[in-house]
Amino acid sequence: MTEPRLVTSLWVAAQIRVCDLNLMPAVVRRKGDGDAGAVILKLNRLDGTALVLAQTRDAEGRRAWMQATGAIPVPDAEAETYIARAIGRDPDLWVVEIEDRHGRYAPDGRIL
């Protein structure tokens, strides 16, 4: 069974609130389509590196996250290059950046 559809803009706002409650600064760097835009999360480690997670769906249609730049943090410039290419492919894309020095952020779906 698939999960209920949540409007992207509301989901993004909820994630910003979750981060705020957990004292992790987060900002919407780019607004995409409010109803159906995909989301990229940049988890900024504040040491010159970052992880990038790209929203996807698993085989059952549930929200999941792909480790877009790999399982370990990459240099910030590499993360930014990935994000720029993704925006070029999808003009409806949202980009949310979270300051996550200690790797505490837990996305709301499986990491594939």
Cα–Cα dist 63/57, whole Å:
5
User: Are the beta carbons of 26 and 97 closer than 8 angstroms?
Assistant: yes
Per-residue pLDDT tens digits of the chain, which is 112 residues long: 445 556 888 989 999 999 999 999 999 999 998 887 899 999 999 999 999 999 998 899 888 999 999 999 999 999 999 999 999 999 999 999 999 999 999 998 899 8
User: Domains in the chain, start-ordered, CATH in brackets?
Assistant: 8-102 (3.40.1530.20)
User: Are the beta carbons of 82 and 93 closer than 8 angstroms?
Assistant: no
**Residue 70 burial (CB count, 10 A):** 10
Q: Which residue in 47, 91, 57, 85 sits closest to 69, CA to CA?
A: 85
What does DSSP assign to residue 35?
Answer: T
Confidence (pLDDT) at 71:
94
